[in-house]
Structure 1
Amino acid sequence: MSIDIPWVREELAQFLRLTDLYRPPDPPGVSIISSWRSNRGSEAEIVASAQVVERILDRVLPRWRTEVSVHRNKSVNRWCQHREAAQRADAVLQRDAEVRQRMGDAPPQLSAGQMHPWAWEGARALWGNGHFREAVTAAAKRINAEASNKIGRRDISETKLFQVAFSLNDPKPDQPRLRLMPNDASETYRSIHRGAMAFAEGCYAAIRNPNSHEDKLPELSEHEALEQLAAFSLLARWVDTATVLTA
């Protein structure tokens, strides 16, 4: 689904208006010398707006929590990081197409926020705090849970679950299958399901299992974690779009 740019820009503008700092006028007949500044909106209005704006920022600038600096004057305005991120996001929305055109062809950008919701929603809270290895592990757990729910198997998990789900054997009363295409007896049908089974096994054996021992491994770089998350996003998409075949 594409971004509704006019709506998003208005939400960002409204947040910036609410968090704008100004000096309230002195009471009549009183002159106060002070550098104190106040937000134009009430705290309740700002918090409500921030709930929406944070989701916008996660989509437009997925790394804003770590890339946009937290200014020293945050004690004066707790929303300064949000404000700078909102201003940057608005510039991206206004001028991204122009910048790409002027800069010439650029490689496609991989965005965590545009991955399958099972992957990104499972990872986003930890991702925003820079816990990339744990974030990928959380996404793997979410996808395992969704696959388990889809075929009604809670007695097995991870590698075994996907071996059963994508097995080329006919379904049994207690063993539904996931099918990515109708069975036309072709090599393509067999190849797709063997590949999906092997891919899932690789995701859990080579990514999820090592990541579960994050205390013994160095933190992943964000780029490497993004590659791992993309692998689970693809698996999630296959599971989500697959047809359940029952006996």
Structure 2
Amino acid sequence: MHVGDGVVVVSGDAAGARELVDVTFYSPAMNRQWMREQLEAFSELVDRYLQTRRAEGGIGNKELRQQLFRAEATTKKILHLLEPTLAENIDLGPLTGPAYARNQAQRALGILDDMDEWATNLAPDSPTLRADQFHPWVWTSASTLWDSKHYRAAVHAAATAINAYTQTKVGRTDIADTELMNAVLTDKPKPGQVFLQLPGDPNDQTIKTRNRALRPYAEGCFAGIRNPAAHQHAPEWDEQMALEYLAAFSILARWIDGCVVKHAT
């Protein structure tokens, strides 16, 4: 079965009923209004042509017949994009050809009518990621920019907030960003150094490995996400990518927020 270009695939029976057989998503690049206009115009043209055939006999009005042939290629292309089987066996030459093509165009118009509801109501269940449930350091700082679709700036704001809260937590404003994370999340602090550590028995193997993971994870977030957000002047970030970056920062924020301030001896 063909489901290319993210289409909803349907099939029609002899009576014209449509049975939904698969659901994905239509490409947002499809100009649905134009497709609808082309199919409606084709159906109307067929009706006008068939009226002349009944009235005049024979092959009907030659000018309208030529207009049908000119519209055939575009109509078949639209049908194929919406559901490949709709474009099969269309041939305007035989006496039954125009009526058959019109019926297929009507089925395609039904797809266009229903596709938004299919995408909304029949999409496969999958987990959703609610940004307003991210750690408050992240979402409170990012939400206004996110709502205005400034996704890169929203991610940068989240990183800036984590940096500020971490500085306050350890009482250090002399360093920031990656340097701050490397200093306060180290698992090998120097004597007298203030650092952060997850709660629990530091000799427990799980706690020990988690504490060891803090610094490289934080460094990755700041060096790999925050720095491009702050310094790159590329086109606006994709929303999905930016959401994933915010999720990464939310994990970091929860870890840091849950850490205990320690003083190395």
* C-alpha RMSD of the superposition: 2.0
For this pair of structures, how many residues does the alignment match?
Answer: 144
* Partner residue of 1:218 out of 235, 252, 262: 235
In the alignment, structure 1 residue 169 sits paired with structure 2 residue 182: no
Percent of pairs identical after alignment?
42
Deviation of the 1:161 alpha carbon: 1.1
Q: 1:112 aligns with which of 114, 124, 131?
A: 131
> C-alpha separation between the residues in 1 aligned to 2:244 and 2:123?
25
- Residue of structure 2 aligned with 1:135, choices 133, 154, 179: 154
- Which runs of structure 2 are paired with 1:75-114 in the superposition (5 Å)? 106-114=125-133
**SS of the counterpart of 2:249?**
helix
- Structural mapping, 1:153-232, within 5 Å: 153-170=172-189, 172-173=191-192, 175-214=193-232, 216-232=233-249
Change (3 A) 1:211 1:104: closer
Q: Deviations over 1:88-138 (max 9, x none)?
A: xxxxxxxxxxxxxx9798221101111000000111111110000011001
The CA distance in 2 between the partners of 1:204 and 1:188, in whole Å, is 25
**Which aligned runs of 4 or more in structure 1 are off by greater than 2 angstroms?**
102-106, 169-173, 181-190
Question: Which residue of structure 2 lines up, in the alignment, with residue 233 of structure 1?
Answer: 250
Unaligned runs of 5+ in 2: 1-120
Contact 1:171 1:245 in 2 (8 A): no
Q: Secondary structure at the match of 1:106?
A: coil
State the distance in 1 between where 2:262 and 2:179 align: 18
Q: 1:193 to 1:217 in 2, by over 3 A?
A: same
Residue 155 of structure 1 deviates from its aligned partner by 0.7
Name the structure 2 match of 1:121.
140
Structure number, greater radius of gyration: 2
Q: TM-score, normalised by structure 2?
A: 0.51
